[in-house]
Structure 1
Amino acid sequence: MTTTVRIATPDEVPILNAIRTSVRENHMTLEQMADYGITPEVIANLLRTTGRAFIANVDGVDAGISIADSAEGNIFAMFVLPDYEGLGLGRLLLAHAEAFLHATGVASAWLEAGAGPGIRAHGFYAHLGWQSDGLMPDGQLRFVKSRAALTQIVAGG
């Protein structure tokens, strides 16, 4: 198995959206994302300005994504295709997003994980050092991590 991670370009927003809308947990359609103001144009603009997206490729298949926004200091998205879960892609993609935020000098980072009991992402983030910070108004669980605790890998640019 060969795994690579690349920085996504604004032209690759369709790949980001295809992976985002293919997950089982915290699934959303493009229409549901648009209802939250998350459109292809918004994501492309984020990548042109304060954001960076990473795409994990396994043996020629784009299998997972992470997106971080330095202006907000958050991990905006982190998703892996169901057939590629359990291969360490989530950990790898999160490390790249954390390293990007660390390199931009954010004081602390935050992310939200789906609402409801039994969400696997909650345990995943806690295991990787993210601290629960209560519920967001939409019911999602907020996690935080200090700049010092963020992964500091070389994220390929």
Structure 2
Amino acid sequence: MSIQIRAAETTDVAGIFHVRTSVKENVLSAAELKSMGITEDSITAMIENGPCAWVAVEDSEVIGFSMIDAEEGSLFAAFVLPSHEGRGVGRRIVEAAERELFTRHAVCWLETGSTTRAAQFYRRLGWSNEQDIGNGDIRLEKRRA
């Protein structure tokens, strides 16, 4: 079956958490997420309050997601189940997030580890203007075409 990219719905929250706690890089447990204020309730509220998240779905299963802070102009999450990496899912969910960001901002940004696979991925998608923000992290930007 094909992979569908669509706006996240509140019924996707459990799947989003499953993806987030299943990744190989930037690993966080549900307890660690909760200590940061990231809970199923907080994500549900974000989804209810406007376009902020997109999911990749295959056979009714959430296999990836992206999330933005539309007001700040940032992409703050993009994760894909390890079993689905390398199939273009990450690119498609980031592009969905970018489309929304660029309706509001000429330049959007993200932060990630400088030596991570994620940093390499974002650079391939055209994120640039790299700035060292300390502790091995960088800020990348992307301009509206």
Normalised by the size of structure 2, how large is the TM-score? Answer: 0.88
Equivalent of residue 122 in structure 1, options 99, 119, 122: 119
Change (3 A) 1:142 1:82: same
Residue 26 of structure 1: how far off its partner (Å): 0.8
Using a 3 Å threshold, how does the CA distance of structure 1 residues 50 and 110 change in structure 2: closer, same or farther? farther
CA contact (8 A) 1:50 1:71 kept: no
Query: How well do the aligned residues superpose, as a CA RMSD in angstroms?
Result: 1.9
Does residue 133 (structure 1) correspond to residue 130 (structure 2)? The answer is yes
Instruction: Kindly report which structure 2 residues correspond to 1:1-157, keeping only aligned pairs within 5 A, or say none.
Output: 1-103=1-103, 105-113=104-112, 115=113, 117=115, 119-136=116-133, 139-146=136-143, 148-149=144-145
Q: Could you tell me how far 1:132 is from its partner in structure 2?
A: 4.4
Q: CA deviation at 1:116?
A: 5.9
Rounded Cα–Cα distance in structure 1 between residues aligned with 2:129 and 2:39:
28
Count of equivalent residues: 145
Deviation larger for 134-143 or 76-85: 134-143
Q: Which runs of 4+ in 1 moved over 3 A?
A: 135-139
Seq. identity, %: 35
SS at match of 2:140: strand
CA distance in 1, matches of 2:106, 2:35: 30
Answer whether contact 1:8 1:53 (CA < 8 A) is retained. yes
Q: Give the TM-score of the pair, scaled to structure 1.
A: 0.82
Which range moves more in the overlay, 70-79 or 133-142?
Answer: 133-142
| Structure 2: stretches of 5+ with no match in the other structure | none
